[in-house]
Every structure is written in C-alpha cells, then in structure tokens.
Amino acid sequence: MADKLSSSTVERVLGLLHEKGLTHLKVTTRALNIVIYSEHGKEKENRCRFVKMQGNTYNLHMADHRGKWEPTPYTGTIDELVELTTTQFGWALMEF
C-alpha cells in the first residue's frame, strides 16, 4: 500500500466540491486521509476528512467546534462520501 494518496485524488475531491459551488473549500492529504478545510485569514479550519480503510473505502470523520476529529458510522467511496457530506452535512461545509 502506498504511504500517501496521489495529487489526482485531491484534485478529484476538489473538483466534486467545486461542481457543487463549494469553491471556498480546500483539500489536502495527510498520510492516507483526505482532509477538507477552509481558510480564514491565516487560520485553517478543519471541516471533515475521509480516512482510508480497505480498497477504495473511506470512513467519514467530522471536525467538532475545536477542529478535533469525530468519527461517524458512514463509510463509502470518495464519490459517495462527497455526496453524503454535501447533502446531509452541508451545514458543516458552509462558508461563513
């Protein structure tokens, strides 16, 4: 298994978010995690992350009000988790 996700994975998630009008969000990787965040001035604010499991499956973690990660019971592919996050947890991705 590779130690890091590819830049094409970041570009894919960013593209899916931008298609949904969420152009204020940024995407990066940390080890095998895909992290979605926003920036306010020089501060980064974690929104959610997809934690790599087996194969093409990820687990959704949401950031709490302090930016700490809270796991959820939701798993799926990148496409499925982007769709779930934007439709069911859209409030966590809003620009403010």
List the CATH number of the domain containing 51. 2.40.128
Total domains present in the chain: 1
What domain range is 75 assigned to? 7-92
69 part of a folded domain: yes
Asked whether residue 81 is assigned to any structural domain, the reply reads: yes
The structure tokens 């990820």 sit at 58
Q: From CA 46, how far away is CA 36, in angstroms rounded?
A: 6
- Contact between 40 and 67 (Cβ < 8 Å): no
Find where tokens 């796991």 sit.
71
What is the edge-to-edge ordering of all strands in the sheet holding 26-30?
26-30, 33-40, 43-52, 58-63, 69-76
Is the residue at 2 inside a domain?
no
Rounded CA-CA distance 53/22 in Å is 26
**Are the C-beta atoms of residues 88 and 67 closer than 8 Å to each other?**
no
pLDDT digits (tens, 9 = 90+) for 8-58: 889 999 999 999 999 999 999 998 899 999 998 889 999 999 999 999 999
Tens-place pLDDT, residues 54-83:
999 999 999 998 889 999 999 999 999 999
